[in-house]
């Protein structure tokens, strides 16, 4: 883990914005006008997916992937001007939030400024042509970090943007050398002290496959040396297998608990039910009760919470990365009130620093606890809406239900779960 990473990141919520598809306009200005609503959900950090111009050569779809960047030092003219971007960032700051932008440093579009001016900085196939290591990424070509000049250019670019924004979400960070990220972090700190570094790490199977082919592929343990926050793709396969009925809830619970043992004490995972590369939660999680419980568990988890624009209105459709495909803000039901309540929960100091453990119970109920000193935060999440009695380590009594309001009663060391999420704070036994 980066030694100066703040545990307080675990009390924060990040909101991901795909500028093109966030509105019919698809502009910085349209996002700026929506910021007060986003802030009211309980959001600390705005993450803007790539804001740069998109390549034309080998473009996928009519609009192209924002991850096929043609110029790292410019903004996509379809979104607006640099001045429009600065106005958006200024408004984010005025509202008391921070802004991070996407950094896509593994590759560029085949017609990028760097390809035209520094073709020697790219990976070349045996025949001398440019190429990439991941076959289905046909709209990009890979950079080659054995070139010191590339390091200097990329870090200077980061320092340029760090004069405006508060941090970076680094795309497939695992495929870029760790030494580069360590140097970048140190140098950017001179421009933006406390810069936020979020890594899109990769799944274990991806790491194994890449390494078998001689490709750099950093584990989460390596990533955490340079980054503050990392994706939770290390356990995402267990989550997905449970939803698909291929694995038990116990296996998922074991994967969550394993993180407490294998990462440094100040590790911060980015917790999410959806992102721009995965199915919408409302599509992947069947049933209202299940979605409600998973959403409450999302905020209960140790780590930073991620929301993807449209999640608050239960969008089922995942916006296309390659086309103009605006979010349907009337898709409903609107969960904004629930998210605001859960944001209040997220501020609980027990979520900042605790001994954290979850266990799977019969009936697809997940029981979790954060313990610190004499206090304990208990969570009960019925992931298929089932009812049942749950044994808890808490004194008998009546406590506020921090998940939905109302109260929860502990009687003879048990709580009656009626299929809806329960979160309450008690003295430890």
Average pLDDT, the chain: 96
Helices (H), 307-396: 336-346
The 3 state secondary structure assigned to 205-256 is: HHHHHHHHCCCCCCCHHHHCCCCCEEECCCCHHHHHHHHCCCCCHHHHHHHH
Provide the pLDDT for residue 4. 86
* Predicted confidence (pLDDT) at residue 135 exceeds the cutoff of 80: no
pLDDT digits (tens, 9 = 90+) for 206-235: 999 999 999 989 999 999 999 999 999 999
Q: How confident is the model at residue 2 (pLDDT cuts 50, 70, 90)?
A: low
Neighbours of 99 (CB within 10 A): 22
* Predicted confidence (pLDDT) at residue 15 exceeds the cutoff of 60: yes
* Predicted confidence (pLDDT) at residue 11 exceeds the cutoff of 90: yes
pLDDT digits (tens, 9 = 90+) for 239-279: 999 999 999 999 999 999 999 999 999 999 999 999 999 99
b/e string for 305-340 if b means 16 or more Cβ within 10 A? bbbbbbbbbbbeebbbbbeebbbebeeeeebeebbe
Residue 283: which H helix or E strand, with range? helix 281-284
* Predicted confidence (pLDDT) at residue 323 exceeds the cutoff of 70: yes
Which pair of structure tokens corresponds to residue 151? 């390091």
* Predicted confidence (pLDDT) at residue 36 exceeds the cutoff of 60: yes
pTM beyond 0.95: yes
Provide the pLDDT for residue 1. 44
pLDDT average, residue stretch 387-405:
96
pLDDT digits (tens, 9 = 90+) for 69-105: 999 999 999 999 999 999 999 999 999 999 999 999 9
* Predicted confidence (pLDDT) at residue 29 exceeds the cutoff of 70: yes
Q: Is 186 exposed, middle or buried (0-12, 13-18, 19+ CB in 10 A)?
A: exposed
Helices (H) and strands (E) in the chain, counts: 14, 18
- Write the CB contacts of 119 (distance below 8 Å, at least 6 apart in sequence): 130
Separation between Cα atoms, residue 189 and residue 293, nearest integer Å: 39
**How many alpha carbons fall within 13 Å on the CB side of residue 89?**
18
Provide the pLDDT for residue 429. 73
pLDDT average, residue stretch 179-204:
97
pLDDT digits (tens, 9 = 90+) for 251-261: 999 999 999 99
Provide the pLDDT for residue 83. 98
Q: How confident is the model at residue 344 (pLDDT cuts 50, 70, 90)?
A: very high
pLDDT digits (tens, 9 = 90+) for 149-184: 999 999 999 999 999 999 999 999 999 999 999 999
Strands 355-361 and 397-400 come out as unpaired
């Amino acid at each position: 883990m980066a030694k100066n990473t703040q545990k307080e990141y675990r009390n924060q919520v990040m909101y991901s914005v795909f500028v093109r598809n966030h509105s019919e306009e698809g502009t910085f200005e349209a996002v700026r006008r929506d910021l007060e609503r986003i802030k009211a959900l309980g959001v600390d950090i705005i993450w803007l997916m790539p804001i740069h111009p998109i390549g034309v050569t080998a473009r996928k779809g009519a609009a192209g992937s924002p991850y096929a960047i043609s110029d790292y030092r410019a903004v996509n003219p379809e979104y607006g001007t640099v001045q429009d971007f600065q106005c958006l960032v200024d408004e984010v700051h005025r509202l008391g939030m921070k802004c991070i932008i996407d950094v896509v440093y593994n590759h560029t579009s085949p017609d990028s400024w760097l390809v035209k001016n520094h073709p020697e900085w790219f990976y070349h196939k045996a025949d001398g042509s440019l190429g990439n290591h991941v076959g289905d990424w046909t709209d990009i070509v890979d950079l080659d970090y054995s070139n010191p000049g590339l390091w200097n250019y990329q870090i200077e670019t980061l320092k340029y943007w760090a004069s405006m924004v508060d941090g970076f979400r680094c795309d497939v960070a695992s495929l870029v050398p760790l030494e580069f990220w360590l140097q970048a972090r140190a140098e950017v700190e001179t421009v933006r002290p406390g810069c936020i570094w979020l890594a899109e790490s990769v799944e274990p199977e991806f790491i194994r496959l890449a390494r078998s082919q001689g490709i750099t592929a950093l584990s989460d343990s390596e990533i955490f040396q340079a980054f503050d926050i990392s994706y939770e793709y290390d356990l995402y396969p267990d989550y997905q297998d449970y939803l698909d009925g291929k694995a038990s809830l116990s296996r998922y619970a074991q994967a969550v608990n394993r993180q407490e043992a294998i990462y440094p004490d100040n590790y911060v995972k980015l917790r999410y039910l959806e992102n721009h590369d995965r199915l919408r939660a409302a599509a992947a999680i069947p049933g209202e009760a299940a979605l409600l419980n998973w959403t409450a568990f999302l905020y209960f988890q140790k780590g930073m919470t991620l929301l993807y624009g449209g999640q608050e209105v239960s969008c089922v459709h995942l916006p296309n990365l390659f086309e103009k495909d605006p979010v349907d803000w009337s898709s409903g039901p609107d969960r904004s009130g629930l998210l605001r309540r859960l944001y209040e929960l997220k501020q609980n100091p027990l979520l900042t620093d605790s001994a954290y453990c979850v266990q799977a119970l019969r009936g697809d109920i997940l029981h979790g606890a954060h313990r610190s000193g004499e206090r304990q935060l208990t969570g009960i999440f019925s992931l298929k809406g089932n009812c049942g009695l749950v044994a808890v380590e808490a004194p008998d009594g009546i406590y506020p239900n921090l998940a939905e309001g109302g109260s929860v009663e502990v009687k003879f060391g048990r709580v009656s779960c009626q299929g809806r999420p329960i979160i309450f704070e008690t003295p430890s036994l």
